Amino acid sequence: MTGARRVKVLGDLYHGQVPAGAVYAGRAAPGLPASRYANRHRIGQCRACPAVHGRSGALLGYARDLADRPDLVAAARAELAGADVACWCSLDGEPCHVDVLLAVVAGAEPLGAAVDVLAAAEAHEAVDRLF
């Protein structure tokens, strides 16, 4: 078995397809029901709280939601262990809520996972600026 990874939903918003064997972790879209693992905190004007989030804020909001839901964390660890997890985010190296979710599935605590994911992305960005 290979390690779990984040994969991208194929197609466009109206014709999205989850790659074979992957579990969808996104919001509702035509043809795709909302996942209970979706991030309710959006980049920009959030509909879940009064904040206007950047990427970091949206990820930290998701991590706080997970921290407040030990039942959801337990379910994710049971259901997603070893599974690829799909969302709409680009695979360009920018962090995504699925990166946080996969770290939590692997045993990390939600807030620590978000901080680690964001720190890793910042480190990669710094290295890219050097070269």
pTM score, whole prediction: 0.91
Find all residues with CB under 8 Å of 104, minimum gap 6, and list them: 66, 73, 76, 77, 110, 113
Tokens of 53: 């989030």
Residue 24 lies in a domain: yes
Q: Is residue 38 part of a domain?
A: yes
Per the structure block, which two tokens stand in for 23? 């579990």
> Distance between the two ends of the chain, CA-based, in angstroms?
34
Is 46 a domain residue? Answer: yes
Q: From the CB of residue 13, how many other CB atoms can be counted at a distance below 10 Å?
A: 11
Enclosing H/E stretch for 122: helix 110-130
Domain span at 70: 6-130
Assess if residue 1 is contained within a domain.
no
45 in any annotated domain: yes
Number of domains in the chain: 1
Q: What is the pLDDT along the chain (131 residues), one digit of tens a residue?
A: 457 899 999 999 889 999 999 999 999 999 999 999 999 999 999 998 989 999 999 999 999 999 999 999 999 999 999 999 999 999 988 999 999 999 999 999 999 999 999 999 887 776 667 67
